[in-house]
Amino acid sequence: MKLALRTVRVVQIAMLVSVGIYVVVGEVVRLPSTAPPSFLYAASVASIAVVGALMVVRRTLVLQSEVGLRHQPEDPAILARWRMGYVVTYALCEILALVGLTLRLVGFSLDQVWPYYAGGFVLMLLFWPKLSRAEQETESLSA
């Protein structure tokens, strides 16, 4: 479990750093606006769909796997599903930030795209992987 947790945290931190890189790239590579305003609305609808998919992935992969891990903490199949759930969750959060970068690159202002960057970043922070209570107690007893 500790190795899987560490792997997920490394992936999460790498993706958080990449969101910061997207902001920097978006500010350095400024292009004149070529997209119609309706492009921003379409991106908003797509982002809402991504957040919906994110909630479904969390419920079906991560939360159900956490229940299984409480009963069998070292089961490799449940652990793999838990790890995959977190990676897919972070990938969906990353898509939000990439939508912001795309909008910035087609010419929208930072005021218009910062919610996409912030949304991806904050959701990744909110879904920080944790050890279960039983694992935390065992870890504190062994320390």
Domain that holds residue 50: 2-18+42-133
The answer to whether residue 25 is domain-embedded is no
Residue type, 109: S
Cα angle value 68/71/75 (rounded, 5°): 65
Mean pLDDT of the chain: 87
Q: Is residue 116 in some structural domain?
A: yes
- Residue 37 lies inside a defined structural domain of this protein: no
pLDDT > 90: percent of the chain = 52
pLDDT for 136 beyond 60 = no
User: pLDDT tens, 81-109?
Assistant: 888 999 999 999 999 999 999 999 998 98
Let me know if residue 26 belongs to a domain.
no
pTM of the predicted model, to two decimals? 0.84
* Helix pair 76-105, 37-57: axis angle to 10 deg: 170
Do the domain assignments include residue 86?
yes
- What tokens appear for 60 in the block? 């079906």
Per-residue pLDDT averaged across 114-124, rounded?
95
Number of domains the chain contains: 1
Where is pLDDT greater, at 3 or 42? 42
- Cα torsion 17, 19, 20, 22 to 10°: value is 130
Q: 55 or 30, which is more confident?
A: 55
The pLDDT value recorded for residue 2 is 82
pLDDT for residue 134: 43
